[in-house]
Amino acid sequence: MLEKSKDIAFYIHDIPIKKGLILAPIDGFTDSPFRRIIKGLGAVMMYTEFINAIDILNHKDDIDKKTNFHESERPIAIQIFDNDPERIIQAALLIDKNHPDFIDINLGCSTKRVAGRGAGAGLLQEPKKIATIFHRLSKQVTTPITTKMRLGWDSNSKNYIKIAKIIEDNGGAMIAVHARSKEDGFHGKAEWDAIAEIKSRISIPVIGNGDVKKVRDIDKMYNQTKCDGVMVGRAAIDNPWIFCLRYRDSISKFELKSLIQRHILSMIDFYGNQKALLLFRKYLNAYLKPYDLNREVRKELLSCSSHKALLEKLNNF
């Protein structure tokens, strides 16, 4: 009997997911240091960046940085992508040894380099492959198998109900829905009614994603879709504080500097000084976006050669 608690929103198999926001997988951003920042701000579930199954099978040099996680990041899903069911299955069996809470199959990436070769959202055109992946994995591992999917390839081939039912019928444990098609990319308005339709047609948990940009959007999505949880993607980069239900313009410079310090030090510990400084620039650029900085000041901050120099410059910010 699963424990009932006012703090628990839903279960994925027997794993409780608390009430709160879920961090989406974002390529190039949701690494371990960023996940720990977001966890500290209140995220209740997180994902790794998406990982190519081929890289897992070939033991690519930096693969441990992608697949490893800190215990504090739980519950966490490792997300993988490919266009070949056999490679996905074998890669999933390997990463299952890392003991993630969930193994997530990417059915949502819309980029040319992924969907264009039939992976990510490209797999939505191959329902039989999806059935094979979920059927075999749900039989071979005890770790719950989940997915993040889109509504279909394009406006003329939205097959989200069919795909959702295939996933449920073949052992899938949860579905996160980015309410756009592959063709839409990140343009146009997310079709929240499609999330509501999926939720009404299946019994496993459904997570809503798409156009959750502000704190006020969270309750709107819950009310419109009746989803079990809400997932935040790109908005998390510009405003990590959305996870504690705060608007970006309410954040003081002191709080910003404190977060920047924690984040850069965590990245240095994880990647080493030189690589961390290079990788941190994209986060810093997002953190500084709300401020009307002249070009030279922004350039100076983004090109600091050490974290100490960066923190010193921020003291004068």
Distances from the Cα of 162 to the Cαs of 13, 28, 125, 166, 226, in angstroms? 22, 31, 11, 6, 20
Backbone angles phi, psi at 110, to 5 degrees: -105, 5
CB-based burial label for 96 (10 Å; 0-12, 13-18, 19+): middle
Full DSSP string of 154-209:
STT-B-HHHHHHHHHHTT--EEEEESS-TTTTT-S---HHHHHHHHHH-SS-EEEE
Give catalytic status of residue 304 as yes or no: no
193 has pLDDT over 80: yes
The CATH-assigned architecture of domain 252-315 is Orthogonal Bundle (1.10)
Full DSSP string of 111-129:
-HHHHTTT-GGGGGG-HHH
Helix, strand, or coil (residue 309): helix
Every domain of the chain and the residues it spans? 8-248, 252-315
191 has pLDDT over 80: yes
Find the mean pLDDT for residues 138-163: 96
Topology agreement, domain 8-248 and domain 252-315: no
pTM confidence score: 0.95
Task: Given the residues 109, 227, 244, 304, select the one marked as catalytic.
Answer: 109
Distances from the Cα of 155 to the Cαs of 140, 182, 194, 206, 256, in angstroms? 35, 9, 13, 22, 41
1 has pLDDT over 60: no
User: Tens digits of per-residue pLDDT, 218-268?
Assistant: 999 999 999 999 999 999 999 999 999 999 999 999 999 999 999 999 999
User: Which one is the CATH code of 8-248: 3.20.20.70, 2.102.10.10, 1.10.3470.10, 2.60.40.420?
Assistant: 3.20.20.70
Instruction: Give pLDDT, residue 301.
Output: 86
